[in-house]
Structure 1
Amino acid sequence: MNPALLGLITIVLGVGGCIGYFWLSNLLLDTVIFPPRGPNAGRNINRANAIRPWLFLAPALLALGLYLAYPVVATFWLSLNDRVAGGGSEFVGLDNYVQMFGESKFREAILNNMMWLVVVPAASTAFGLIAAQLTDRISWGNIAKSLIFMPMAISFVGASVIWKLIYDARPPGTDQIGVLNALWVAFGGEPQQWLTIPGWNNLLLMIVLIWIQTGFAMVILGAALRGIPEETVEAAIVDGASPWTIFFRIKVPQIMPTIVVVWTTITLVVLKVFDIVLAMTNGQWETQVLANYMYDKLFRSFDWGVGSAAAMIIMLLVSPILIWNVYSANKEMR
């Protein structure tokens, strides 16, 4: 079937199904289950009104239970089991976790993830804040913002391909198509396989995600900067404060909650980073991260027990930040 026609049919059926569900469920509630007539009419109306919000929430709760809660429970159960001959499984308790923590690749992935967590959120937030401040002060600021934000429209795999070309290396004596090696050779160096150099290769992979996330940080922090009352800035100028003092002592403290939200949001992205490492190094040369480790175990080694255990570790790392973000958002709305 033509994809456009299939999409149109999906939209029609989806919207029609939602309208039909809400119409039919309210009809049944008001006319069959709790009819507003007879001696209990008032009580039936109150009961129907108490249940009605759950009718609207039911599809979302069902979807969350089916696509979120059930996979978590199933993954946890798989992490406590191991495959046996014949296609069955055997309960092994925490053996998969013990095996996982004993593997050097897992320890490498944990260490690399910690490095990513330190560098990427800090750099992306800092560059985004600087870009937000500077682009508000130039006449062509909107064009600059569009250029900085543009990488957000590129998939992680697409960005990885672009940067892999930038890091590309050709044999000595030939033209270098990689920008980094072209500059390196122009200054008298020899072409380097940058993505194979331990330590440096992790930093070069991080640059790709920083390049993508800086635009996101700039947009959010730019909106926060524009929300700062002009009176506080004008008062600081009257008192003789320098631009640096105004920025770091007046503006940054007032948008600190937004900075923290941006920081934690990027942290969630970092904890789940997968595409960039897979497309550029495939976890080789000491660049393994948790998501790639999980992928290797699940879909290459078919070790469902250890792979599921790795998935649970990622979920445990992500959950506190998610909970804190939700708590902060609710606190801001009060």
Structure 2
Amino acid sequence: MLQRLFTVIVAILLGCGGVIAIFYALNYAVNLLPQKWRSPVLPWVYLAPAIFVLGGFLVLPTINTFILSFFDRRSENFVFLDNYIFSFTDRTMLIAFRNNILWLVLVTGVSVALGLVLAVLMDKVKYEKWTKALIFLPMAISFVGASIIWRFIYAYRPADEPQIGLLNAIITSLGFEPVGWLVEQSVNNFALIAIMIWLQTGFCLVILSAAVKGIPNDVIEAARMDGANEWQIFWKIIVPMISSTITVVATTVVILVLKVFDIVFVMTGGNQGTEVIASRMIKETYNYRNVGVGSAIAVILLLAIIPVMVTNIKRFKEQERLR
């Protein structure tokens, strides 16, 4: 125990101390330059380590993945677009695409809409902070941790045995048959989607609540004096005035949903028709050792995320321009 503690302390001291020493040394080296060179060079000196790390651990692997996507299983023969054609024609991949679209529509739509409604309602309650904290609390749980919690909620036992799953215990107490939430293909995808909604609603609530509070009270009061009811105020004033924030929150959730893997892996392993793009990528690459197809799926996933990221960046630039 003491040896491990000593190792941790040494690693922290050497790691943090090494980083600090590197920046001090670089700053000292910049100060040795002529005065006219110091200002242009100094920002790049501090950015260089981050650029180096990003280049080594993000850019180069991305390029390598793109190249591998044009080769066969063992990365020996060039097959051009065969891996991409397989990705868009294989039955399991088509199921994964269908499921991802279902996740995108339901998780994004429900979590953003629910977060917006709660943000407006929380603005009127007495214990706003405590209520928001309670709803935001699932965000503190990892996807894997949340999945394990919900495995107990969805747990299934035959009808003649005691139910240990909370949901089936409630259902059987009302006189209904227990449901195999993670096995029955008519409900299992929706059961997994519910977990993501539970996790992301708190995030949407907090961000949208800040936007709602930024609306001037004078505008709301003027609308009420003109005879507008609460429903009209919500649709005609609140939603248009925070539309940019809604877009940012929605695109952030979309990016998370496109990359979803943990929940599916822990809950079903992608079986019983619950496969998603990310889980299929992992299976093709590591389970089936089909690196070419796995790389092609990774490239497809990257290309799907890029337009959403570009939309977010453009939105941020517009907000900065309007300030």
Which TM-score applies when normalising by structure 2?
A: 0.93
**Partner residue in 2 for 1:14:** 15
Q: Give me the whole-angstrom Cα distance separating, in 2, the residues matched to 1:204 and 1:157.
A: 15
Q: Give me the whole-angstrom Cα distance separating, in 1, the residues matched to 2:128 and 2:27.
A: 51
Cα offset, 1:6, TM superposition: 4.3
Cα offset, 1:123, TM superposition: 0.3
> Where in structure 2 are the equivalents of 1:29-44 lying within 5 Å?
29-31=30-32, 34=33, 36=34
Cα offset, 1:240, TM superposition: 2.2
Q: Give me the whole-angstrom Cα distance separating, in 1, the residues matched to 2:295 and 2:50.
A: 26
**Partner residue in 2 for 1:67:** 57
Q: Give me the whole-angstrom Cα distance separating, in 2, the residues matched to 1:26 and 1:167.
A: 57
- Cα deviations by residue, 1:213-263 (Å, 9 ceiling, x for unpaired): 000000000111111111101111222221222222111111111011000
**Partner residue in 1 for 2:299:** 312
- AA at the equivalent of 1:225: V
- AA at the equivalent of 2:243: M
- AA at the equivalent of 1:75: T
- Cα deviations by residue, 1:303-326 (Å, 9 ceiling, x for unpaired): 111111111111111111112212
- Cα deviations by residue, 1:141-168 (Å, 9 ceiling, x for unpaired): 2221111111111111111122122121
- Cα deviations by residue, 1:270-302 (Å, 9 ceiling, x for unpaired): 000001111111111111000000011111111
Secondary structure in structure 1 of the residue aligned to 2:275: coil
**Partner residue in 1 for 2:159:** 172
Q: Give me the whole-angstrom Cα distance separating, in 2, the residues matched to 1:18 and 1:271.
A: 34
Residues 329, 69 of structure 1: alpha-carbon distance in 2 compared, 3 angstrom cutoff? same
Report sequence identity in percent.
43
Q: Give me the whole-angstrom Cα distance separating, in 2, the residues matched to 1:28 and 1:137.
A: 57
**Partner residue in 2 for 1:103:** 90
Match of 2:69 among 75, 79, 86: 79
Cα offset, 1:17, TM superposition: 2.7
Task: Find out whether 1:226 has 2:227 as its counterpart.
Answer: no
Residues 80, 259 of structure 1: alpha-carbon distance in 2 compared, 3 angstrom cutoff? same
**Partner residue in 2 for 1:41:** none
Which TM-score applies when normalising by structure 1?
A: 0.90
Give the conservation status (yes or no) of the 8 Å contact 2:139–2:203: yes
Match of 2:230 among 239, 243, 260: 243
Task: Find out whether 1:51 has 2:52 as its counterpart.
Answer: no
Residues 26, 138 of structure 1: alpha-carbon distance in 2 compared, 3 angstrom cutoff? closer
Match of 2:253 among 266, 287, 293: 266
Cα offset, 1:169, TM superposition: 1.5
Residues 22, 162 of structure 1: alpha-carbon distance in 2 compared, 3 angstrom cutoff? closer
Residues 234, 10 of structure 1: alpha-carbon distance in 2 compared, 3 angstrom cutoff? farther
**Partner residue in 1 for 2:277:** 290
Q: How many correspondences in the alignment?
A: 320
Give the conservation status (yes or no) of the 8 Å contact 2:192–2:263: yes
- AA at the equivalent of 2:54: L
Residues 137, 8 of structure 1: alpha-carbon distance in 2 compared, 3 angstrom cutoff? farther
Q: Give me the whole-angstrom Cα distance separating, in 2, the residues matched to 1:109 and 1:255.
A: 34
Secondary structure in structure 2 of the residue aligned to 1:302: coil
**Partner residue in 2 for 1:122:** 109
Give the conservation status (yes or no) of the 8 Å contact 2:73–2:293: no
Q: Give me the whole-angstrom Cα distance separating, in 1, the residues matched to 2:168 and 2:27.
A: 67
Q: Give me the whole-angstrom Cα distance separating, in 2, the residues matched to 1:176 and 1:183.
A: 9
**Partner residue in 2 for 1:40:** none
**Partner residue in 2 for 1:190:** 177
Q: Give me the whole-angstrom Cα distance separating, in 2, the residues matched to 1:19 and 1:288.
A: 45
Structural RMSD (CA): 1.8
Structure with the larger RCO, 1 or 2 (CA within 8 Å, 6+ apart): 2
Secondary structure in structure 2 of the residue aligned to 1:90: coil
